[in-house]
A and B are shown apart, each in its own frame.
Chain A
Amino acid sequence: MPKEITVVTGTVGQDSHVIGTKILSRFLREEGFKVVELGVLTPPEEFIKAAQETAADAILISSLYGMAELDLAGFKDKCIESGLGDVLLYLGGNLAIGRHDLKEDEQKFKAMGFDRVYPPEVDLGVAIANLKNDLKAKGKI
């Protein structure tokens, strides 16, 4: 990438599942991104503060424990309020408890302002290709 792109990663709320966000962070680094890794149990506001200070281009949130909807209620609005309206928001994981339709999840979280929503298992190559495309569309790379 010609310009260094900064992304913020971590699991949100009280989710302590560290593996997904670790693998994602490592993969992003290998792809040339500057990664601000907040790790597990990150309050939503902390993603916003870190993104402000680092002038991040995207926030990639993991959630595997089914509470994402509660944890991320109003997240996009908070981003807009904090001057981060233009920052890409990605979310992936087990986004609700019990059996549920992945399509419904995607619709729900997109309506909440997330640009991309992924199931628990995803080819990271595809996700990063999406990210690069979205960044290109915003004229950031």
Chain B
Amino acid sequence: MGSVRLFIDFGSTFTKVVAVDVDIDKVEIISRAQVTSTVEEDITIGLKEALEKIDTELNIRHLPKREALACSSAAGGLRIVSIGFVPELTSEAATRAALGAGAKIVGRYSYELTKQELAEIEEIAPDIILLSGGTDGGDKKVIIHNAHMLLHSDLAGTHVIVAGNKAAYDEIRTISEPSDRNVKFTKNVMPEIGMLDIEPCNKEIREIYINNIIKAKGIAKAKALVKDIIMPTPSAVLFAAKLLAEGFNEDEGWGDLVIVDVGGATTDVHSVAKGNPTSGAVVLRGLPEPYVKRTVEGDLGVRYSISTLLQHLKMRNSSLSPNFEKVVNGLSSIKRVPETEEEYLAEKILASVAVEIATERHAGKIELIYGPAGEMFVQYGKDLTKVEHVIGTGGPIVFSSDPGDILKHALFREESRHILKPKSPKLYIDEQYIFYAAGLLAQTNPKSALALMKKYVKQV
């Protein structure tokens, strides 16, 4: 069993463990366990239970727990407030940087912070504040004002990452120095108009996460049993997605892909694709898109945000059965999974609309402009029409009797031609929920991680 590795995902509802034989000639899942999360009391209780289940199932006691790697979205995930100057520019750049690092955006601010906004941020009590503003050599006033506000506030101990106009850094250092603030300086997320540089910021976020945040949330306790908790779960999924798209050395990847993850609280969409215009005579506008892009829709979860989801549904679909709302309300208690046929159908309808809207928001849009020179097209965001692989994950998709039908809602529609969703991709499901494990394994053994995904991500 020397080639067996354990991978753990500490979620807010469940702790999941999977044992994978990573030997490249085999690469298979040999056991898995899921237990209710115990992060509120002591994260190790649930973890022990899950590990024992696996021990019992495999009838061995010598699994290499000390080699086990974990990711976590427990205890609220990695909660970040992003701050910038102009909403569409540095605020958006900072938000994208945080999302790309696997964070949950719990607040987003622009321009000079007011006292009331500061009070709001104190109330939110984020894990990290990401402070941006101004291109390099551009505006300094706003970021310096905001640094003053934050560093003279009650947000003691909150980690602050400064990723804005570098010309303002010396002055911000003089504000932060006398206090014992956790302030880190990194590169500007938007050094020039039309340029994003989010990698250095991502790295900083992950370092703070590993070194500080998991300790503060009680997740680090798990280190008594496993080797390390190395990243937030969405970050692991992003690593896996990139690997599956790009391949590793001589092992070819799938090429451009989209992953839709429907959950109880949010629906996440990840795309790995440049998204350049696929037809000529199109002018690109807006911020450049990250090649690996993640968007999170907080109003499209099938449990916690069921009421807003229901409203979206009513606006789009007038032919719902009169009984529908009652069934949905029955589902809305957080941990309820569907039982009756009626409930499964309701869940499917909810998941479908979540997929439809989340992919609409993620995909780029094209606009037809009539100018004196004739028709012209302007594209904002990514053109995903040529993407060949769309993968569904998350309970509502994976446990549905007809996942393909839900995933079809991620596709391009003639009625909304301006939304650049994939036109004729193959559809897949991650039925074993292995993306997080592949992302963790990819850190040390990308070859096996890629093989693991190719084996278990199944076409529908």
Interface residues of A (CB under 8 A from B): 4, 6, 14-16, 34, 36, 38-42, 46, 49-50, 52-56, 65-67
Contact = CB atoms under 8 A, between A and B. Distances in A.
Nearest to A39: B283
Interface size class of chain B, counting residues whose CB lies under 8 Å from the partner chain: 20 to 34
Nearest to A41: B283
Contacts of A36: 135, 192-193
Given A14-B376, A49-B89, A54 B139 contact: yes
A14 B88 CA distance: 20
B378 interface: yes
Interface in B55-91: 85-86, 88-90
Given A14-B376, A38-B193, A65-B371, A53 B85 contact: yes
Nearest to B283: A41
A34 B283 contact: no
A6 B89 contact: no
B333 to A, nearest CB: 44
B283 A16 contact: yes
B178 interface: no
Given A4-B137, A50-B193, A54-B138, A16 B85 contact: no
15 contacts: A15-B371, A34-B137, A36-B135, A41-B369, A42-B285, A49-B89, A52-B85, A53-B190, A54-B138, A55-B137, A55-B141, A56-B138, A65-B371, A65-B373, A67-B372
Nearest to B192: A36
Given A15-B371, A65-B373, A40 B137 contact: no
B290 interface: no
Contacts of A41: 283, 285, 369, 376, 378
B139 A16 contact: no
Interface in B186-206: 190, 192-194
10 closest A-B pairs by CB: A54-B138, A14-B371, A55-B139, A49-B86, A55-B138, A50-B193, A53-B89, A54-B135, A65-B372, A36-B193
Most buried by B among A34, A53, A65: A53
B134 interface: yes
A68 B338 CA distance: 59
A41 B283 CA distance: 8
A34 B338 CA distance: 60
Given A16-B376, A65-B373, A53 B139 contact: yes
Nearest to A36: B193
Given A54-B139, A66-B372, 17 more contacts: A4-B137, A14-B370, A14-B371, A14-B376, A41-B283, A41-B285, A41-B369, A41-B376, A41-B378, A50-B193, A53-B86, A53-B138, A53-B190, A54-B134, A54-B137, A54-B193, A65-B371
B376 A53 contact: no
Contact of B86 (A4, A16, A52): A52
Contacts of A52: 85-86, 139
A67 to B, nearest CB: 8
A4 B371 CA distance: 36
B193 A53 contact: yes
Interface string B395-431: 0000000000000000000000000000000000000
B242 interface: no
A16 B190 CA distance: 26
Most buried by B among A36, A39, A50, A67: A50
Contact of A50 (B89, B133, B370, B371): B89
A6 B193 CA distance: 12
A53 B283 contact: no
B416 to A, nearest CB: 22
Contacts of B133: 53
B96 interface: no
Nearest to A38: B193
B270 interface: no
Given A16-B283, A38-B193, A41-B376, A55 B371 contact: no
A56 B71 CA distance: 44
Contacts of B192: 36
A66 B192 CA distance: 30
Most buried by B among A4, A42, A54: A54
A93 to B, nearest CB: 13
B293 interface: no
B134 to A, nearest CB: 6
B193 A55 contact: no
Contacts of B194: 38
